[in-house]
Structure 1
Amino acid sequence: MKYRVAEKFISINGEGNAAGQLAVFIRFAGCNLNCSYCDTKWANNVTGVKYNEFSEEDIFYYIKETGVENVTLTGGEPLLQEGIIQLLSLLSADGTLRVEIETNGSIELNKFINIKPRRPVFTMDYKLGSSEMETAMKTGNFELLCRQDTVKFVAGSIGDLETAKELIAKYHLTHKCQVHFSPVFGKIDMQTIVEFIKKNKMNGVRLQPQIHKIIWHPDMRGV
């Protein structure tokens, strides 16, 4: 099986439960959404982006050669890759790797939660109204998440935050998994999000800006 890899690099995780920790990134080309604020549009269209084709063994050996144990599979949308379960099974069988998948919330996760011996960690977006992609979200995924996983609400407005609050309450998300509010870069002030969390007594919700956009220029690749 060959996978379309747009870039691979070592950096720190910019978001998710392992934010700030060293990680090796595999960014796959191709996405099924077109979010208004997407910061990786360059990787989304497989007919327009340069990518290399690697087998699961190529990817595995690259990861092992780095000596880094946190693995972040991102995109684009990594779960769209044909045969991705084969790669996930290979990485799981190693036993030393923590594999995290950054997924956009539009892909049903039920095919991926039973990978053994160690299933991947999911950092799953829920695309709110400002993304213009909310109708593509699969709320059934909420039932499949556990404490190691994260739902990330990327908010660009107070309306987005209100929707997120309703979803958190409806699906009891803070009792199932980690819940993060992440601001759309340049669209909403982080103080606004903090005040919203305070006003609504949102215990268990974490504000998490994208760390890599604070350290490096927001448009920089490979970080």
Structure 2
Amino acid sequence: MANYKVVEIFSSINGEGTRAGQLAVFIRMQGCNLNCAYCDTKWANEADARFRWTSTEEIVELLRTMEIKNVTITGGEPLLQENVLELLETLAQEKTLRVEIETNGSVDLTPFTEIPNGPSFTMDYKLPGSGMEAQMRTKNFALLGADDTVKFVVKDYTDLCRARDVIREYDLTEKCHVYLSPVYGQIELEDIVNFMKDNRMNDVNMQLQMHKIIWDSEMRGV
């Protein structure tokens, strides 16, 4: 079976998204093709970041032992892992699991949407404040469905305006879940709420990163 560069595997609660507050197992892969200005996992993204080669079989056995239904595969950018399709196809056969992929919006989702009982996607759209908007693959929007999510991490008013425009241009609230998530400590939460009211952003969810409220914002493995 294939092996993957795994930085950490841990159980916690989902800090954000449609299952926020629910138990989940997080599998964090090493490496990313982007370099967002506000990234909070740079320590896992570098080519020399510590990792452990972990096989598909090891991951499946560990998940069976942990007995937690929600599984989030994250990074970095997990879809850059060689042979990750094998892992997702294998996990899809575990009928008790609900697998979610956190992806940065730059990777073609097509091969991964064809998996029977495949994962749901939480796909970022990188806004101007990230410095990475040019890398976004907007064709992915057409591949998303009712179980999927687009997340906009907002840093300032410019980011809010751009998020609003992208949501409207691609009619995202009719396709999938849509979330606005603040860059921790860089934008007033009240400003986000007021912007949503002023722009009648129906069916858009503002979310806080729950894990950063419960634990120290720099803590790993939570």
Query: TM-score scaled to structure 2, two decimals?
Result: 0.98
Task: Read off the aligned partner of 1:27 and give its amino acid letter.
Answer: R
**TM-superposed deviation, 1:50:** 1.0
The C-alpha deviation readout for 1:148-174, integer Å capped at 9, x for no partner, is 111000000111010111111110000
Task: Read off the aligned partner of 1:32 and give its amino acid letter.
Answer: N
Measured in 1, the distance between the counterparts of 2:32 and 2:150 equals: 19
State the superposition RMSD in angstroms: 0.6
Task: Read off the aligned partner of 1:111 and give its amino acid letter.
Answer: P
Q: What percentage of aligned pairs have identical amino acids?
A: 55
Aligned to 2:143: 144
Matched, 1:120 2:119: yes
Q: How does 1:1-223 map to 2 (within 5 A)?
A: 1-47=2-48, 49-116=49-116, 118-223=117-222
The C-alpha deviation readout for 1:135-192, integer Å capped at 9, x for no partner, is 0000011111111111000000111010111111110000000000000011101110
The C-alpha deviation readout for 1:40-99, integer Å capped at 9, x for no partner, is 00000132x111001101111111110001000000110000000000000001111000
Measured in 1, the distance between the counterparts of 2:146 and 2:221 equals: 29
Measured in 2, the distance between the counterparts of 1:46 and 1:90 equals: 27
SS at 2:111's partner residue?
A: coil
Measured in 1, the distance between the counterparts of 2:148 and 2:211 equals: 20
Task: Read off the aligned partner of 1:16 and give its amino acid letter.
Answer: G
Measured in 1, the distance between the counterparts of 2:10 and 2:125 equals: 26
Task: Read off the aligned partner of 1:123 and give its amino acid letter.
Answer: T
Which 5+ residue runs of structure 1 have no aligned equivalent?
Answer: none
Measured in 1, the distance between the counterparts of 2:17 and 2:101 equals: 10
Measured in 1, the distance between the counterparts of 2:213 and 2:57 equals: 34
SS at 1:26's partner residue?
A: strand
Which 5+ residue runs of structure 2 have no aligned equivalent?
Answer: none
Measured in 1, the distance between the counterparts of 2:50 and 2:152 equals: 30
Query: TM-score scaled to structure 1, two decimals?
Result: 0.98
Task: Read off the aligned partner of 2:12 and give its amino acid letter.
Answer: S
Over 4 Å off, 4+ runs: none
SS at 2:219's partner residue?
A: coil
**TM-superposed deviation, 1:17:** 1.1
